[in-house]
Amino acid sequence: MSDRICKFYEVLVGLEIHIQLATRSKMFTAAPNAFGQPPNSLVDPQVLGLPGVLPVMNKRAVEYSIKVGLALGCQIAPFTKWDRKSYYYPDLPKNYQISQYDLPLCSSGTFDIPDDDGSTKTIRIRRAHLEEDAGKLIHEAPGGHPIDYTIVDLNRAGTPLLEIVTEPDFTTPRQVTTFAQELQKIVQYLGVSEGQMQMGHMRFEPNINLHVTDQTGVVHRTAITEIKNLNSFSVLEKATAYEIQRQLHQWLETGALGQKSTYGWDDAREITVHQRDKEEANDYRYFPDPDLVPVIVDDTWLAELKRQIGELPAARRKRYVESVGLSPVDAATLAADRHTGDLFDQSVAAGAAPKRVATLLLSHGRRLANESGKPLAQLNLKPNRIAELANLIDQNKIAPAEPAGKVLERLLQQDAPAEQIASELGLLQSSDTSAIEAAIEALIAQNPKPLQDYKSGKQAAFGALVGMVMKQAKGLNPKLVQERLKQKLG
């Protein structure tokens, strides 16, 4: 039995994230940046680290990184440089990785995430810097046969990699995953990475420790451990939760605070396993890369990138709820990808009621998108036509259910005024009151049984009467028919 009692403990988790940027070429050379190609086909002398080859910076990768930095509320460094991080490993032919050490491109950001209790949790971003990815080491032969040697595939080597480091502000595994998911949405929205976890576009490394307060009030700080290379949200959450409990129980059972070290996740056993004690920064012998010029980010460039970003998803969601009056769910759906949000905004700007446009896009629009297997924004619907259709509904000229859906469907192939299409399809409702009056008069003249029923107090007969008036003439507006009929019958 141990005499250690934990009165309470604080969880401190920081997150390190590596994101592969979707540039066409690699970080410091023109070799293509692609996935799923034959092994070692995306290499050139620079990737192979052959002598006498000089790196040239990929400007697009810098721009993508600045966009992510801005989305995370970071300061963008007006002056930054490249450093060599030395280590010897077969996946890194140059024996050093080009990275950024003391002058990261982005620093000191803050990003808000929703917490489980409905409150907002602010995560501080320590830094975000650019570097190049290493190649891949493969320990089994193609087909899964065991081998007693290692295969090197350098296709990934030199891919632009954005490394984001947060402060240890997360206090629950759930917050860690929420942040990761929000970050995925951001990079996809900005179009800087596909953010596909199964392709390794995003890799997460939580670093975890605890401050345990014992029964006498003394605080015991466990050593920080880092769990390497987690590439799914569920594993990220499970591994973080496991490691918190492992550290707590290690202290409870042995009093040990552990060593600063690196762990991996064993997916089969669902536990974290010790890999190695951690290197210190000076083991990497960082020094400025003499082959590359510094990066100067001037105000003009920064302003242009801010303009390109436009409104970020979180701001857009907020605007849709607060000033447009959409429900949080509808707002989130429309703001989830940039193009759908743009289509909605442009349709409203073309002169339609926002809620009507939202309903139109979220009901018929989404159905048509599902049927065609394409995203809503790629259906080629014109904002002015969507606005026209929304206005027809609001003017009672077309019914919002099936008829509006049919007009929207026709608009996929034919760019013509919505009213013209509705008319061609015979879907326009007549709001002509004289036609409605005439139909009601005709019905009264026929004096059918439902009319007698209604007059003798059977309210249920009203629906049948509306149907009978509608049958007198094609395309009458049912809402108006109901109103007029009620008036007529007192």
Sole window of 157-165, 238-246, 312-320, 419-427 interacting with Mn ion (rule: CB under 5 A): 157-165
Regarding beta strands 225-227 and 261-266, do their DSSP bridges make them parallel or antiparallel, or are they unpaired? parallel
Distance (Å, whole) CA 206 – CA 242:
12
- When the beta carbons of 163 and 237 are compared against Mn ion, the nearer one is 163
Distance (Å, whole) CA 160 – CA 180:
19
Write down the least CB distance from residue 16 to Mn ion, Å: 7
Sole window of 30-38, 163-171, 240-248, 357-365 interacting with Mn ion (rule: CB under 5 A): 163-171
Query: Within 24-43, which residues bind Mn ion (CB under 5 A)?
Result: none
- When the beta carbons of 163 and 289 are compared against Mn ion, the nearer one is 163
Distance (Å, whole) CA 133 – CA 28:
11
Give the other-Cβ count within 10 Å of 30's Cβ: 11
Write down the least CB distance from residue 159 to Mn ion, Å: 12
Distance (Å, whole) CA 227 – CA 236:
9
Of residues 83, 132, 163, 182, which one binds Mn ion by CB under 5 A? 163
Give the other-Cβ count within 10 Å of 294's Cβ: 10
Sole window of 5-13, 29-37, 160-168, 254-262 interacting with Mn ion (rule: CB under 5 A): 160-168
Distance (Å, whole) CA 126 – CA 107:
6
Give the other-Cβ count within 10 Å of 296's Cβ: 10
Query: Within 247-276, which residues bind Mn ion (CB under 5 A)?
Result: none
- When the beta carbons of 182 and 205 are compared against Mn ion, the nearer one is 205
Task: For residue 205, state whether it binds Mn ion (rule: CB under 5 A).
Answer: no
- When the beta carbons of 129 and 385 are compared against Mn ion, the nearer one is 129
Q: How far is CA 287 from CA 7, 115, 230, 282, 447, in A?
A: 46, 40, 29, 10, 97
Write down the least CB distance from residue 18 to Mn ion, Å: 6
**Which residues does 192 contact at the CB level (< 8 Å), separation at least 6?**
19, 21, 22, 64, 65, 67, 68, 162
- When the beta carbons of 128 and 411 are compared against Mn ion, the nearer one is 128
- When the beta carbons of 16 and 432 are compared against Mn ion, the nearer one is 16
- When the beta carbons of 153 and 205 are compared against Mn ion, the nearer one is 205
Burial (CB < 10 A; 0-12, 13-18, 19+), residue 446, is exposed
Contact 440, 469 (CB under 8 A): yes
Write down the least CB distance from residue 133 to Mn ion, Å: 9
Write down the least CB distance from residue 207 to Mn ion, Å: 13
Query: Within 372-411, which residues bind Mn ion (CB under 5 A)?
Result: none
Write down the least CB distance from residue 152 to Mn ion, Å: 19
Distance (Å, whole) CA 54 – CA 31:
13
Alpha helices per DSSP H over 398-432: 402-411, 418-424
- When the beta carbons of 101 and 462 are compared against Mn ion, the nearer one is 101
Write down the least CB distance from residue 202 to Mn ion, Å: 13
Which run of H or E residues covers position 182? helix 173-190
- When the beta carbons of 15 and 343 are compared against Mn ion, the nearer one is 15
Sole window of 65-73, 161-169, 205-213, 254-262 interacting with Mn ion (rule: CB under 5 A): 161-169
- What length is written for the chain? 490
Write down the least CB distance from residue 74 to Mn ion, Å: 17
Count CA atoms closer than 13 A to 349's CA, side-chain side: 8
For 238-355, list the strands marked E by DSSP. Answer: 261-266, 271-277, 287-288, 295-296
Write down the least CB distance from residue 163 to Mn ion, Å: 4
- When the beta carbons of 17 and 465 are compared against Mn ion, the nearer one is 17
Sole window of 156-164, 166-174, 279-287, 350-358 interacting with Mn ion (rule: CB under 5 A): 156-164
| Site residue total, Mn ion (CB under 5 A) | 1
Write down the least CB distance from residue 135 to Mn ion, Å: 14
- When the beta carbons of 104 and 195 are compared against Mn ion, the nearer one is 104
When CB distances to Mn ion are compared, the closest residue is: 163
Contact 83, 289 (CB under 8 A): yes
Sole window of 162-170, 388-396, 470-478, 482-490 interacting with Mn ion (rule: CB under 5 A): 162-170
- When the beta carbons of 282 and 300 are compared against Mn ion, the nearer one is 282
Write down the least CB distance from residue 183 to Mn ion, Å: 16
Write down the least CB distance from residue 151 to Mn ion, Å: 23
- When the beta carbons of 100 and 333 are compared against Mn ion, the nearer one is 100
Write down the least CB distance from residue 37 to Mn ion, Å: 23
Query: DSSP letter string over 59-87?
Result: HHHHHHHHHHHHHTTPEEPSEE--EEEE-
Long-range CB pairs of 358-361 (<8 Å, 24+ gap) are: 358/324, 358/326, 358/330, 358/334, 359/400, 360/386, 360/389, 360/390, 360/393, 360/400, 360/404, 360/408, 361/334, 361/386
DSSP, res 31: S
Binding site for Mn ion (CB under 5 A): 163
